[in-house]
Amino acid sequence: MQSTSTSLSPLSTGLARATAGLNLCHENASEVWHQRPPLDFLQIHPEHLIQEEGGTYRDQLDDLRHAYPIVLHGFGLSLGSCAPLDQDYLQLVKQVLKEHPEAFFSDHVSWSSLSHHHFHDLLPLVMNDETLDYMVERIDQAQELIGQPILLENISSYMRFRDSTYDEPSFINALTDRTGAYVLMDVNNLWANAVNFGENPLSQLMVYRQSSVRGYHLAGCTCKQVGNGEVFIDYHGEAVHEPVWELYKEALSHFGPWPTLLEWENNVPKLERTLQEVSRIRRCLHDLSVTPEAT
Ligand SMILES: [Fe+2]
């Protein structure tokens, strides 16, 4: 099946490459609003623009999205579900992108709704040719509607399907190849999946096509004891783990210094602590930006 999105212009945003940002959430909005810390960008969820029709959080969100460069990150588009794509949602994304030429829009390679029921979780896909064709069609529709390529994020998942014939990196490579979409590389998700399934995180990372990555997410996962073993759960409730920082540095040197976001929305500490993590991202980006490979 031929993608219709091959006619889309390449992604071009006003957001500088080596930038470090923070996700805006209910737990940190007041501190960010009061303190106005030196962040390169904020990540905003379109769902919050729809669900929060008024109140303090919405007021702060509206103020802050005009005070900082933003990126838009969805968790409810449900690209992999069988229900029609939400046209109103995509129109809103298109409108916000028009107001913010620096922004890009991202969502996940997953599904999260069935008819009108939303599971509030990002569920894994059966990664085979049938799903691939379906996802290409859906991504094409979304991109045509918002008028620019989207970024696809790799999810954390704790099960795999026997009927899958692709691993996640190869599946996402095929998606980006056929649709012109890019990758939002969640380094923590990739690391946790690889460790949970007994794979080598760096080998998994290197499967991704070098030219497809346009952004990174970093977050802290939580280690849970299950029977005699450990499982890393993508909870966004603690600092980024050291092996994830190491993998991030490998990603930077291979894919380049793209905008990087810290996600921390559970057990949220004082903003000062979160900003230390953002500063560490900035140092990693800067260390890489001065090497010849990244120029
Ligand atoms: Fe993420």
pLDDT at 196: 96
- Residue 49 tokens read as 């623009």
pLDDT at 294: 44
For residue 122, report the distance from its CA to the centre of ligand 1, in Å.
11
Residue 170: Cβ within 10 Å count: 13
Range of the domain at 94: 5-287
Q: Which of 46, 42, 44 is nearest to 77 (CA)?
A: 46
292 is a domain residue = no
For residue 153, report the distance from its CA to the centre of ligand 1, in Å.
7
For residue 218, report the distance from its CA to the centre of ligand 1, in Å.
7
293 is a domain residue = no
Write the CA distances from 232 to 71, 197, 223, integer angstroms: 27, 10, 4
For residue 217, report the distance from its CA to the centre of ligand 1, in Å.
5
25 is a domain residue = yes
pLDDT at 292: 47
Q: What is the CATH number of the domain that holds 124?
A: 3.20.20.150
For residue 7, report the distance from its CA to the centre of ligand 1, in Å.
28
For residue 263, report the distance from its CA to the centre of ligand 1, in Å.
7
Longest dimension (CA), the chain: 52
For residue 156, report the distance from its CA to the centre of ligand 1, in Å.
9
35 sits in the region (left: phi over 0; alpha: psi -120 to 50; else beta) called alpha
For residue 157, report the distance from its CA to the centre of ligand 1, in Å.
12
For residue 189, report the distance from its CA to the centre of ligand 1, in Å.
7
The answer to whether the CB of 87 falls within 8 A of the CB of 59 is no
295 is a domain residue = no
For residue 42, report the distance from its CA to the centre of ligand 1, in Å.
14
For residue 143, report the distance from its CA to the centre of ligand 1, in Å.
20
The answer to whether the CB of 105 falls within 8 A of the CB of 150 is yes
For residue 1, report the distance from its CA to the centre of ligand 1, in Å.
29
The answer to whether the CB of 70 falls within 8 A of the CB of 107 is no
pLDDT at 190: 98
Could you give the angle at which helices 271-289 and 242-255 cross, rounded to 10 degrees?
A: 40
For residue 73, report the distance from its CA to the centre of ligand 1, in Å.
9
- Residue 257 tokens read as 């210094």
**Whole-angstrom distance, CA of residue 69 vs CA of residue 246:** 27
For residue 210, report the distance from its CA to the centre of ligand 1, in Å.
19
Query: What would the pLDDT profile of 217-245 be if each residue is shown by its tens digit?
Result: 999 999 999 998 999 999 999 999 999 99
pLDDT at 4: 52
Residues in the chain predicted with pLDDT less than 50, given as ranges, are 1-2, 292-295
Domain count, the chain: 1
Exposed/middle/buried for residue 145 (C-beta within 10 Å: 0-12, 13-18, 19+): middle
pLDDT at 48: 93
pLDDT at 293: 47
For residue 125, report the distance from its CA to the centre of ligand 1, in Å.
17
294 is a domain residue = no
39 is a domain residue = yes
Q: Which of 258, 247, 67 is nearest to 151 (CA)?
A: 258
254 is a domain residue = yes
